[in-house]
């Protein structure tokens, strides 16, 4: 027996991982893919380190009586039930930046392979066929490449392709043009990118807004010479539409590392000679695995020492006042609502904290706000450690403002930002009652009182009779159930705001119908799921 914390390594990890843990822990190993072995081994451990084969679900968490940390040595968390872990008070950490160089390099590799027909030429040669004339390709030099999503990986791809002598343009509604220009990148809208690009590389997060973003309509606007690469997330490019575009010569070629459903071993796309495909190898390098292992080992050390863990994706460790802790998830949701309402990232953002909690250090709330602001903006996993860097990279000035006086609420957290056109957006929230229930209490100066549930919507229009009924009728026809509704206005017959909490995401066509029916000046849906 030992009084040292026990760390269970459930899959083969880089030797550097154990070295980074150091001598302060009892290290055990098991085959996490063997369910019975895992459930027995996890019963009395303090932390578990996994990759992708081990499923840490509600059953495993229930069996782990002492578990404090689940560490995923990689970026994705598909095999970890984060919600169940949070309910169990178990911290989940990952390594959000471990694979960015590897992912960027693979995107470039796929682009080169597709441009030069490497896969079919290689297959033909293995069959004893020498087909030099058939597989004549194109150069990247002096061509235009469109980067869809200028986050960390997108920036790395842009830098590497600039070195090939390419003209780099990008579509990212959350990046300021000045910041892009500093990198030698011209920001354009998606239609312009499709019209101008000879090559295109996708680097967006997978969200309800980005699923199917590149579909038949978009591919119809592309050049016939387009080479499209997706090494980000499956589903952002509509695979059926892509197949049709490639099959009919609507576009020239594609390089794919990700698919809507994985593992994917049977796709019509694999039948096409103008497709080069890999089985989600973006993070599959020795260097990425070593970086991931070292990163999560450091997070485990911090967590088990009771210190703040920057890469935690759910509950936070560290010396944070008990009165401040309930405000962290609320502030993160306010960040998500702010970005959803604004439709872009602010040039300047103030995180205003008022009330009794300002007696404590509330710096963590600024970090939580930034984490929420960027959660649906970038393809990276956003954490407390990289959120300020994401703001700095985009030239966003961030300020924490504290004020002990709070006239209307015991504590109030407000995110107030200035957009590129000089307009302002604000959202405010508070915690109510002994249960500390989260409430959204202000949006753009309108007083509301609504729970920040998974699916929200905000409609601004000219105040007149019948509009609320119209909204309800259209949502009813779309089978979208309203959980709660708030109406606020600046004056009788002036501008009014409807704030909605609904049970399911509102389809885009339904939002368009509502916008037209009430002649809305602004219509925004926000997904906090």
Residues annotated as catalytic are 233, 262, 280
- Residue 229, φ and ψ in degrees, nearest 5: -120, 130
The radius of gyration of the chain's CA atoms, rounded to the nearest angstrom, is: 25
Helix 118-126 × helix 100-115 angle, to 10°:
70
Query: Any idea what the Cα angle at residue 213 is, between residues 501 and 270, rounded to 5°?
Result: 130
- Residue 323, φ and ψ in degrees, nearest 5: -70, -20
Q: Hey, what are 95's tokens?
A: 């390594």
Quick count: other Cβ atoms within 10 Å of Cβ 85?
A: 25
CB 84 within 8 A of CB 61: yes
CA atoms within a 13 Å half-sphere pointing along the CA-CB vector of 193: 26
Q: Is 457 helix (H, G, I), strand (E, B) or coil?
A: strand
Q: Is the dihedral of CA 484, 490, 491, 495 positive or negative?
A: negative
Distance CA 56, CA 74 (A): 14
Of 6, 98, 87, 104, residue with least CA distance to 46: 6
In this structure, what DSSP letter does residue 506 have?
P
Distance CA 207, CA 210 (A): 5
Distance CA 367, CA 384 (A): 6
Q: Hey, what are 493's tokens?
A: 């017959």
The structure tokens 């399911």 sit at 504
Of 107, 101, 205, residue with least CA distance to 161: 107
Assign 3-class secondary structure to 333-388: HHHHHHHHHHCCCCCEEEEEEEEHHHHCCCHHHHHHHHHHHHCCCCCCCCCCCCHH
Q: Is the dihedral of CA 520, 206, 168, 96 positive or negative?
A: positive
Distance CA 331, CA 428 (A): 9
Q: Is 241 helix (H, G, I), strand (E, B) or coil?
A: helix
Distance CA 444, CA 341 (A): 9
Pairing mode, if any, of strands 411-418 and 424-432?
antiparallel
Distance CA 483, CA 491 (A): 26
Q: Hey, what are 253's tokens?
A: 């070629």
């Amino acid at each position: 027996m030992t009084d040292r914390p026990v760390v269970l390594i459930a899959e083969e990890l880089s030797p550097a991982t154990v070295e980074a843990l150091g001598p302060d822990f009892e290290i055990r190993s098991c085959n996490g893919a063997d369910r019975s072995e895992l459930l027995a081994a996890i019963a009395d451990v303090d932390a578990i380190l996994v990759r992708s084969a081990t499923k840490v679900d509600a059953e495993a968490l229930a069996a782990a009586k002492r578990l404090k940390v689940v560490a995923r040595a990689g970026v994705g968390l598909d095999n970890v039930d984060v919600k169940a872990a949070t309910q169990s008070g178990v911290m989940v950490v990952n390594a959000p930046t471990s694979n960015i160089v590897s992912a960027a390099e693979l995107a470039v590799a796929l682009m080169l392979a597709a441009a030069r027909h490497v896969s079919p030429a290689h297959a033909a040669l293995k069959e004893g066929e020498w087909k030099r004339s058939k597989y004549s390709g194109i150069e990247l030099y002096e061509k235009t490449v469109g980067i869809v999503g200028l986050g960390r990986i997108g920036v790395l791809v842009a830098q590497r392709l600039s070195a090939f002598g390419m003209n780099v343009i990008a579509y990212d509604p959350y990046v300021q043009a000045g910041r892009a220009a500093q990198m030698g990148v011209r920001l354009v809208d998606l239609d312009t990118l499709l019209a101008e690009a000879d090559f295109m590389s996708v680097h967006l997060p997978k969200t309800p807004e980005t699923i199917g973003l590149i579909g038949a309509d978009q591919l119809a606007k592309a050049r016939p010479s387009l080479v499209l690469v997706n090494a980000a997330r499956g589903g952002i490019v509509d695979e059926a539409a892509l197949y049709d575009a490639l099959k009919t010569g609507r576009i020239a070629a594609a390089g794919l590392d990700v698919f809507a459903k994985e593992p994917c071993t049977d796709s019509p796309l694999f039948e096409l000679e103008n497709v080069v495909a890999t089985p989600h190898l973006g993070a599959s390098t020795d260097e990425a695995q070593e970086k991931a292992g070292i990163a999560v080992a450091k997070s485990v050390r911090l967590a088990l020492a009771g210190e703040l863990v920057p890469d935690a994706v759910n509950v936070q460790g560290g010396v944070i006042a008990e009165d401040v802790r309930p405000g962290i998830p609320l502030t993160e949701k306010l960040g998500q609502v702010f970005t959803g309402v604004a439709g872009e990232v602010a040039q300047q953002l103030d995180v205003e904290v008022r009330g009794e909690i300002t007696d404590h250090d509330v710096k963590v709330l600024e970090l939580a706000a930034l984490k929420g602001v960027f959660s649906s903006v970038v393809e990276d996993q956003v954490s407390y450690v990289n959120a300020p860097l994401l703001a700095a990279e985009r030239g966003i000035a961030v300020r924490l403002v504290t004020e002990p006086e709070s006239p209307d609420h015991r504590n109030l957290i407000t995110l107030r930002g200035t957009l590129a056109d000089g307009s302002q957006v604000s959202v405010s929230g508070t915690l109510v009652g002994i249960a500390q229930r989260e409430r959204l209490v202000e949006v753009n100066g309108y007083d509301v009182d609504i729970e920040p549930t998974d699916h929200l919507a905000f409609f601004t229009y000219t105040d007149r009779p019948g509009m609320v009924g119209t909204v309800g009728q259209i949502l009813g026809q779309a089978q979208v159930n309203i959980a709660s509704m708030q109406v606020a206005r600046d004056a009788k017959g002036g501008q009014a705001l409807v704030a909605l909490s609904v049970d399911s995401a509102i389809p885009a066509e339904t939002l368009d119908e509502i916008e037209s029916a009430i002649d809305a000046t602004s219509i925004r849906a926000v997904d906090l799921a």
